[in-house]
Amino acid sequence: MKVDVLLGLQWGDEGKGKVVDVLTPDYDVVTRFQGGPNAGHTLEFNGEKYILRSIPSGIFQGGKVNIIGNGVVLDPALFKQEAEALAASGHDLTKTLRISKKAHLILPTHRILDAAYEASKGAGKIGTTGKGIGPTYTDKVSRNGVRVGDILHNFDEKYAAAKAKHEQILRSLNYEYDLTELEKAWLEGIEYLKQFELIDSEHVINNYLKEGKTILAEGAQGTMLDIDFGSYPFVTSSNTICAGACTGLGVAPNRIGEVYGIFKAYCTRVGSGPFPTELKDETGDKICELGHEFGSVTGRRRRCGWVDLVALKYAIMIDGVTKLIMMKSDVLDTFDTIKACVAYKIGGEEVTEFPYEIDDNIEPIYAELPGWKTDMTKMQSEDEFPEEFNAYLTFLEEELGVPIKIVSVGPDREQTIIRYTEE
């Protein structure tokens, strides 16, 4: 068997959580392989709305095994909040959720360091969520991290040593802070974690594959936020691309199967960083309003723009995408004209390959297509798609070279249409 991977292809917030929930019935196991509680995956069904930060989005589909992989960074306090809220709504995770011993813990001092580093950057802020993600991955790479498995091995000693290092840095930054409440909630989270099965996830996952079980790997953030291939330095601290599933779960490259790439019919970005197709006008405001483009974790307004096919083709290439999934098609239902960026103009030259650096000097070159001017939210099959929408799909498939297999026409899991296109 293979591990299928589901990835965001833009700057995050593409709607991965909903699609994982829709696809989960076809899988035995759902895993998260990178990121932390900075990634909010929103799911809506049966009139209820759920936001998942660290827990895989497969937990709502009856009895499936869900695994938080070694590539994830986990905040015990926030995890406890999330798990308790789900338990209160009738979803007991203790029987279905497993956590990798090799996943790194976000310490209370990591969150304070995150705030201190951002404050020191002044106008050059990255726009982090302040959840301690960057400092945790920094400690991981510099071999100073504390892992989930350490809860069972000399934990007090390892935590005290890491905390002391962080407090020394904070003193050097002259940053004032109060650790009391953060640490209290965090230590309660550590105790809460102990009721879950802590596993050697790489062995468990590979044994599942040997047994013929189907596995779906769920990515967080988006390809354009990848630490290596995203719009550096305005990126996240982990590998969000398909290769990250291998290192974040402990599976070999030849065990990767289908790669589902998710994108919105338009494009959004949160926080700082370049965004070539951003619309700083009424059209951008309209997309934001219709798409309810506010962060599920931070509540921050997302910047909005037309779909960027230069960046999208780059993401498809890096990830080896085999099937595309287009989200929020319905948000564009009322527009007379739909635009898609097909090239950049840089220094008077037309460029179709994603460049080393993107900045305000890039001018997007657009193709224009007629809007479909039809409410698609009640549609049940592709037979109901208006001619103009089909033309938009055909245009995208020809430009991107990959079939669009799923189209979302609303936030609910029922508002998802599987297309029976030829391979």
Catalytic machinery residues: 13, 41
Print the SS3 string covering 164-215: HHHHHHHHHCCCCCCCHHHHHHHHHHHHHHCCCEEECHHHHHHHHHHCCCCE
Residue 46 near residue 249, CB atoms below 8 Å: no
CB 326 within 8 A of CB 265: yes
Instruction: Mention every residue, 6+ apart, whose C-beta is less than 8 A from residue 417.
Output: 379, 380, 381, 382, 406, 407, 408, 409
How many other C-beta atoms lie within 10 A of the C-beta of residue 157?
10
Residue count (the chain): 423
Q: Which residues lie closer than 8 Å to 235 by C-beta, 6 or more apart?
A: 225, 226, 227, 273
Token pair, residue 409, equals: 């026409």
Distance (Å, whole) CA 356 – CA 193? 42
261 neighbors 295 (Cβ within 8 angstroms): no
8-state DSSP, 278: B
State the angle between helix axes of 387-400 and 309-319 in degrees (0 to 180), rounded to the nearest 10: 50
Smallest CA-to-CA distance from 86 within 219, 196, 218, 215 is with 196
* CB neighbourhood size of 118 (10 A): 16
Q: Coil, helix or strand for 260?
A: strand
Q: How far is residue 221's CA from residue 72's CA, in Å, rounded to a whole number?
A: 12
Cα 17 to Cα 49, 84, 306, distances in angstroms: 12, 19, 22
Cα distance from N-terminal residue to C-terminal residue, the chain = 21
Answer for the pair 258, 322: CB distance below 8 angstroms, yes or no.
Answer: yes
Amino acid at 124: G
Give the helix ranges, DSSP H, for 44-132. Answer: 76-88, 108-121
